[in-house]
Structure 1
Amino acid sequence: MTDPAPGQGRSLRHAFVWLIATMICVHACMAVTRVTASLWVLDRGYGEASVGLLLSLFAVAPIALSLWAGRLADRHGFHRPVGVGVLLASAGTLLALGVQQLWAIAIGCLFCGGAVAVAAVALQREAGLMAEEPGELKRIFSWMALGPAMSNALAPIIAGLLIDYVSMRAAFGFAASLPLLAWALAQKVPRHAPAVYSKSFREPAAWHLFRLPAFRRLILVNLVLSAGWDAHSFVVPVVGHSRGLSAASIGLVLGCFAAAATLVRLTIVRFADNIDEVKALRSAMLLATLTFIAYAWLPGTAGLMCGSALLGVALGSVQPMIMAMLHRVTPAERHGQALGLRMLTVNSATVAMPAGFGLLAAATALTAPMWLMASLLLLAQWPARGLRSDGSD
């Protein structure tokens, strides 16, 4: 479908809150499943490498579905991709709920990862349509980024409490209820008429976006920063379990990361017009590097909470910057393809990263993935230097 006509973005804005609410529910389903599955595996004695392999499954389905999801969003808009995501999430969580075996948990993780990928592309594209001018993109994507941040802040805590005081099955049951709520909220977003397909939709042209130097740099930086999220998601349950922390404490540490990401994104919304995107991006990368280096020596639950909060500030601040620049460097009629291609590349790395983190932790030290990420972030400063805040090459 085409972008809305001038003024149509303004007519869509009244539904922005429903867009964010839908994002929260879809992402929270994955977040609850991720935490619960990780602790289920550790509780059954499968070990750290198994946790890494299980977390990798969240990125397998997006590799196959992301480009298709981008084309689907460009052609049909918002509701159809979200519906596909809801079906995938429901199937995955109900399977994990009904069959408490490793193979069922693994398939549930696979389906939930695919659900978020398909729905997120449509949600991000729809949010971009609501901007009346380029300067609004950063503010809009700051608000959109609050969805995953809020779900990551609340979901691990709720999951931990349900596991500690009820059961693992109760946590999976909570995850299964969220896709249905997401679909109900998505119906509040207005439908707008699809347009005629163009030839570009019928060709594998998404890869041609890599011919744009700014797009290549953004994707490379995004890959490294996304790996930082994976490293944190892997290390916290593993380190917490090795130190004898309860599920609620581990959820609290993960929640501190997400709460900090939420706060920094609210700050970006307030001061978006005064923020230089490239300087903010590089500063966040430096803060994340220093925190990753120091994470191994943080004492107790309080220390891990502080380290997670610092990482939340650093890594939580970058997505609005990257998404705003991504929309400026790609043609408007190919935003869905660009978002799908970003999703594909990020998840391709995410498949390998958690499994690699698990093997690295098992072979060396539990916090070795953090030191690896510090090295990668230092190297990523080089492509980040070539970015421009106006999105030009």
Structure 2
Amino acid sequence: MCSGDAATVPGGHADRPARPQPHGSLLNPLHLLYLACFLSQSVFLSAQFALLLYALQLPLSPTMAGLLISLGGLGPALIAVNIGKFIDRRGARSPMLVALAAQLAGAALPALSQSLPVLFLSSFISGTAFIVFRIASQQTVGRLGDGSTRAKHFGHLGLVYSVATVAVPLAAGYAIDHAGFAATFLGNALLALLPLVAIASSIIAIPGPAASAASGGRGNSAFALLRDPALRRLMVATVIINGAWDVFMFLAPVYGSQLQWPASRIGTLTGSFAAGAMFVRAIVSLLTARFTSWQILVMALALAGACFALMPAFVTLPLLLAIAFLGGMGMGVALPVTMALIFETAPVDRAGEVIGLRTLINNVSQASIPLLAGAVGALIGLAPVFWGLATAMLGMSWSSRAYWRSHRRKGQSPGGTP
């Protein structure tokens, strides 16, 4: 079903907004939801940052410190599909409330006791709660839009995440230096109280479940959804994009070290990449007004692939900064666009389940691809790793273009806005 249809058919694509889209006031549902997402992301990032620094001061071995942090990410992702199914059936409001309450409790635990078991418990609770809230909020953002606005909405949500990723470690570090770990943990927990009260009091209105999902939906395996060619293609694109993002953030410092750069130069290079992503997410409305989501995805993958291919050929900072910025632009817009297209391609009664499946696939790839890239880089050098990812992105861009054009010629939607 193409976006803009007059009704939503059970099992059809998730193109129907849950309610009329908000306009005008700054206090519309989407803006308030973005604020809640920012606070939830801030609680998670600050908790992980403070836990890691405190653990290293115990002292804890780097291996155990890595386990402490990974417990808050990879483990909870394994239940992401079931979380998505529950959200589809019951709606996002209750999971959001439970998740925020759990984030508050998980963040506050180390303020009461800094023993090692408490730190591990805090990491697990905080990570699990954050993933629940993130899946629920992404499903809600998707339902508050339609095929013409979802890419813009997810782009703005991505910008919120980007700002939190940059600002929170700085703020948490300042708080730890001036107030100590216990006060930082407690203050961090209080951040979760604001969206918790706002959602509980319906200041932030969260739509209920889709009618077809509330009546039962379908019971097929989540992986059976990948039989849909468009959805399968988008999931593969997501793996490539997320993997390439993590590989860049991992290999760029290694590349800078090989060039014998000081830490400030290396930080500038990775910062340029992040700045490109933030910039394009800030102007995503201009892109979605001019191009379809599939066109943006094709161009974004081509741009990012070209930048990865060029990266190993240069050693001067200005050129590498420009390449990193453009690569960040490509990947920064590709992620929210794939999220929007995945939502539009998914059956309306299984959108949360598909988002959970995406979360599972992403977390597994984020844990494995950098390890594989590091091993390959150690054996044959960094250039083949960059070129391999460039080939994957350029190939996905070309095949997605052919896929989109073939459906357009037939007058069909390939899963997104035609």
TM-score range, shorter chain: 0.7 to 0.9
Which amino acid in structure 1 is aligned with residue 91 of structure 2? G
Give the 3-state SS of the residue equivalent to 2:283 in structure 1. helix
CA distance in 2 between counterparts of 1:292 and 1:156 reads 28
State whether structure 2 residue 329 is matched by structure 1 residue 313.
yes
Q: CA deviation at 1:79?
A: 1.2
Unaligned runs of 5+ in 1: none
- Specify the alignment match of 1:139 in structure 2: 152
Unaligned runs of 5+ in 2: 1-7
- Specify the alignment match of 1:385 in structure 2: 398
- Specify the alignment match of 2:95 in structure 1: 81
Which structure: larger Rg?
2
Q: CA deviation at 1:263?
A: 2.2
- Specify the alignment match of 1:188 in structure 2: 203
Judging changes above 3 Å, is the alpha-carbon distance between structure 1 residues 220 and 373 closer, same or farther for their aligned structure 2 residues?
A: farther
- Specify the alignment match of 2:300 in structure 1: 281
TM-score by length of 1: 0.78
Task: State which of 2, 9, 34 in structure 1 corresponds to 2:20.
Answer: 9
TM-score by length of 2: 0.74
CA distance in 1 between counterparts of 2:127 and 2:120 reads 11
CA distance in 1 between counterparts of 2:230 and 2:193 reads 38
State whether structure 2 residue 231 is matched by structure 1 residue 215.
yes
Which amino acid in structure 1 is aligned with residue 203 of structure 2? K
Which amino acid in structure 1 is aligned with residue 217 of structure 2? S
Q: Percent identity?
A: 22
Q: Is the 8 A contact 2:44 2:130 kept in 1?
A: yes
Judging changes above 3 Å, is the alpha-carbon distance between structure 1 residues 177 and 359 closer, same or farther for their aligned structure 2 residues?
A: farther
State whether structure 2 residue 363 is matched by structure 1 residue 336.
no
Which amino acid in structure 1 is aligned with residue 364 of structure 2? S
State whether structure 2 residue 210 is matched by structure 1 residue 200.
no
Deviations 1:309-353 (A, max 9, x none): 666434322222101211222222221111111112112333445
CA distance in 2 between counterparts of 1:239 and 1:172 reads 35
Task: State which of 153, 156, 165 in structure 2 corresponds to 1:152.
Answer: 165
Number of aligned residues: 382
State whether structure 2 residue 128 is matched by structure 1 residue 111.
no
Give the 3-state SS of the residue equivalent to 1:58 in structure 2. coil
Which amino acid in structure 1 is aligned with residue 49 of structure 2? V
Q: Is the 8 A contact 1:141 1:323 kept in 2?
A: yes
Which amino acid in structure 2 is aligned with residue 200 of structure 1? G
Q: CA deviation at 1:60?
A: 2.6
Deviations 1:209-229 (A, max 9, x none): 110122122112212322344
Deviations 1:224-244 (A, max 9, x none): 32234445666799999xx99
Q: Is the 8 A contact 2:46 2:168 kept in 1?
A: yes
Give the 3-state SS of the residue equivalent to 1:114 in structure 2. helix
CA distance in 2 between counterparts of 1:347 and 1:272 reads 28
* RMSD between aligned residues: 4.3
Q: Which protein is richer in helix relative to its size?
A: 1
Q: CA deviation at 1:192?
A: 4.1
- Specify the alignment match of 2:3 in structure 1: none
Q: CA deviation at 1:381?
A: 3.8
Q: CA deviation at 1:164?
A: 3.8
- Specify the alignment match of 2:342 in structure 1: 326
Which amino acid in structure 2 is aligned with residue 37 of structure 1? L
Deviations 1:59-107 (A, max 9, x none): 2343233112212221222211111221332232223333334443333
